[in-house]
Structure 1
Amino acid sequence: MSIRITGGIAKGIILKVPKKTPVRPALSKIRAAIFSSLGNWIEGKKVVDLFAGSGSLGIEALSRGALSCTFIDKSKECIECIKINLKKAHLEGVVILEDVYKFLKLDEAQYDLIFASPPYFKESKPLDDPLFSLVYPRLNPDGIFIYEFFSKNIIQLSDSWTIIREKSAGETKVWILKPVSRSG
């Protein structure tokens, strides 16, 4: 499987995909839909790519003008792959070998855009992913959270989130979410 950057300064660059670690790189159709939804908003934004795999979402964001991107994955193979892909695309990012849930509990930074493409749980029953509550305080109030999941999953979404757009392709569904206004 080859993955190609679909836009920006690294458009057309083919990214390396981990061979031993099972990853599900974001399909170019889904990536194109996500980034067309974001438009120029991505420019100058601080991004984190959780469960980064090949790094395709974060690298696409950097290619399209994001200010910075932090890539998080617990697989050494994925981390090495992301470093290779950043070098191929002539882009820079922070690459961290860590469990995403542990990272979110310890990280104190806030981001404008958070991507999460966790491993699929191919079940048609309600799933309560703690990721939503861990991401919420890491997202700037005007930020966007993009969550990719198996289309037949039934996700329990709290009142803290609003779905502003939904995309589907094959067995993949993507929610583009905004945090509900925080009182303060």
Structure 2
Amino acid sequence: MRVITGTARGRVLKELEGLETRPTTGKVKESLFSIIQFDIEGRRVLDLFAGTGQLGIEALSRGAAECVFIDRRADAVKLIQENLALCRLADRARVRQGDALPYLRSGEKFDIVFLDPPYASGLLQQALTDIAAFDICRPHGIIVAESAADTVLPDMPAPYSLYREYKYGKIKLTVYHRGGNEDAE
């Protein structure tokens, strides 16, 4: 598992042992960052269900201003901190241990949100519902959700909308966009 490009390009990230954490595959990660490549620079990122932290670290390496990493596992939080130090990106990161869903009520706003919970947990659907309910994305924000290819995800209410789905074998990336404040004048 390597950082693809940017300031930490080529750095090999440490992984968690066991089967509880399933890192995003290299092919899917490359595709994901190809989709949002022009939307990263200077943005605030949330890596919810962060695991190894590889998605947020990739965003920081590519110029994101800040990333908040949330994971419930103490070993994952420690590993994310180690990976951030290895990539010299810790100064632009905040790592929090705890359940992901309550964090969505924090009032913080983000430009990009990565969602990659355990596939069969039901957490992805609830996270999408809560993101819309608490409106955590800034205008023109992007949500990227990774799931099993056959997972049906809910529609999100305005100002959120489905942008596109991408399938890679057994994995699906679903991208949602938040509209701007076009109606506010």
Structure 1 length-normalised TM: 0.89
1:165-184 matched pairs, under 5 angstroms: 165-180=164-179, 183-184=183-184
> Structure 1 CA distance, aligned partners of 2:82 and 2:124?
34
Q: Distance in 2 between matches of 1:29 and 1:146?
A: 15
Q: In structure 2, what is the equivalent of residue 50 of structure 1?
A: 48
For 1:104, the equivalent position in structure 2 comes to 104
Secondary structure of 1:79's match? Answer: helix
**Counterpart amino acid of 2:64?**
A
Aligned to 2:129: 133
- Do the aligned partners of 2:110 and 2:141 also contact (CA within 8 Å) in 1? yes
Give the structure 2 partner of residue 7 of structure 1. Answer: 5
Quote the offset at 1:181 in angstroms: 5.3
* Stretches (4+) displaced over 4 A: 180-184
DSSP-derived class of the 2:36 partner: helix
Q: What does 1:63-102 correspond to in 2, within 5 Å?
A: 63-92=61-90, 93-102=93-102
Unaligned regions of 5+ residues in structure 2, if any?
none
**Is it true that 1:29 corresponds to 2:27 in the alignment?**
yes
In the TM superposition, what is the alpha-carbon distance from 1:175 to its structure 2 partner?
A: 0.8
Does the Cα contact within 8 Å between 2:162 and 2:176 map onto a contact in 1? Answer: yes
Q: Distance in 2 between matches of 1:59 and 1:14?
A: 11
Aligned residue for 2:131, secondary structure, equals: helix
- Matched positions, count: 178
For the aligned residue pairs, the C-alpha RMSD in angstroms reads: 2.0
Contact residue 49 and residue 70 of structure 1 kept, 8 A: yes
Residue pair 2:141, 2:178 contacting (<8 A) in 1 also: yes
Give how far 1:91 is off.
Answer: 0.6
Amino acid at match of 2:97: L
- Segments of 5+ residues of structure 1 without an aligned counterpart are none
Corresponding residue of 2:115: 116
Which deviates the most, 165-174 or 92-101? 165-174
The CA deviation at 1:41 is 2.0
Match for residue 163 of structure 2?
164
Instruction: Provide the identity percentage.
Output: 31
State the secondary structure of the residue aligned to 2:56.
helix
Q: What is the CA distance between 1:69 and its match in structure 2?
A: 0.2
SS of corresponding position for 1:129: helix
